[in-house]
Amino acid sequence: MSEGPQPGEVWDYPYLWARQADHGETEGRKPRPCAVAVLVRLQSGQTAILFLAITSQRPASDRRAVEVPETERRRAGLSTDQPLWIILDEHNADRLETSFNLHPEARIGAFSPRYFTQIKQAFLTAMKQRHSRSVRRDDQ
């Protein structure tokens, strides 16, 4: 896949939780809404894509997460019947061009640029402070 997700978009993606990876799992159990956090051009010319899971389960108090306001849930094509959170303390890293997990029809919607800027800043801060664990999905 050579074209695809852009930062701020929400895609169905088979997210692999860090706890599942720790137990030897290599595939996400089901597609779930995920926010595209960052695209990074690699020296190889390929693009790394970082996904943040969106969950309806209230995160434990020791987790880094941001609640998604109802207006942003609606804007991104997500459920408005229940609270949702974007998890910041872990993420999946995949390769855009070679991913077996990305499908063009999996795009759900997008957050507003203003809201996404807040999410991106919080995520980058967590990464700088080494509070966001990467789960590699690119088989590299």
pLDDT in tens, 13-58: 999 999 998 898 888 889 999 999 999 999 999 999 999 999 999 9
Neighbours of 29 (CB within 10 A): 11
Per-residue confidence at 2, pLDDT binned at 50, 70, 90?
A: very low
State CA 9 to chain mean position distance: 9
**Does residue 3 form part of some domain?**
no
Q: How many percent of the chain have pLDDT more than 90?
A: 70
Find the domain containing 62 and state its range: 9-136
The answer to whether residue 56 is domain-embedded is yes
- pLDDT of 103 higher than 80: yes
Q: Which two tokens stand for residue 95?
A: 């390769």
Q: Is residue 35 part of a domain?
A: yes
Q: What is the pLDDT of residue 100?
A: 86
Look at residue 57 and tell me if it is in a domain: yes
The arithmetic mean of pLDDT across residues 102-121, rounded, is 94
Tokens 């997700």 correspond to what residue?
Answer: 5
In a domain, 4, yes or no: no
pLDDT, position 104: 84
